[in-house]
Chains A and B, each alone.
Chain A
Amino acid sequence: MPRTAPPWETKRELLVKAEDTTNPEHGHKPSERPVAEYVRYGVINLDKPAGPTSHEVAAWTKKIMHLTRIGHGGTLEALSA
């Protein structure tokens, strides 16, 4: 089989249906969120070390940053699991 283009190579175009403006009084651009919200709606691209499980690594991150909730995208098994 020839190579299939993976989904991360898909290019998308934004097609406009109607024009409108957004009120600056409500919400924030993702990059301009105030600190507390920035963390609450934040994601870390973590380089998992060998040894611990993905769940452990996520739990450590939670502990280090004193968070209440954490999740991770796709389990990477621990060394020799």
Chain B
Amino acid sequence: MIAFAAIAAGFLVVPYMIIGAPIEPTMGIIQKIFYFHAPIAWLLLLSTMMCAVGSVAYLFKGSEGGDRFALASAELAVLFGVCTLVTGPLWARVAWGVFWTWDARLTSSLLLWLMMVAYLLARRYGGPGAKKLAAALSLFAAVDAPLVYVSVNVWRTIHPKTTVVPTLAPPMARVFLSSLLLFTVLWGALIVVRLRLARAHAALDALEIAYEDAREARS
């Protein structure tokens, strides 16, 4: 219900704010992709870091809750990674003239997304021990996430630098920060829904074991 409310709010509020945002003189209206591209890229990084936090709890404390949180975060990382990697090239086509270039920011983001896809594939097809293997993989992704963020400052790149956000004009900053807040709330709602599914799976597994035990005891 929270997720649906957040999505509805997003549908209604974000376009209204983006349409009303000032037009950037160099790039024109395509720059308005920034108001949702940057927040969803932030959610990719947030999801990756949260996946690593859950994985650490699972690897070092054996926390099943941590493992469920890591899995939920990994799914959201893949979801928001796809959104980032589609909206970015659409912006680039108009601003740079090409959909893709092997720029440090773009390449490190693609690698991060591939690592999170690998996490999910390892979970699904890895067999026994897959949880630990995937958890270890998520730690490598967590190392890449800060690199994605600083890549535009460290390497020569045509992607806008991290200094763009602090130097935004106040009317643009208001739209960006509102959008960032809204998308972060959406992330929170999605993680709650996904954790509910993970807990239901765990309850189902426990019931299946109890049912098998009851049948064996009767026979």
Partners in one complex: no
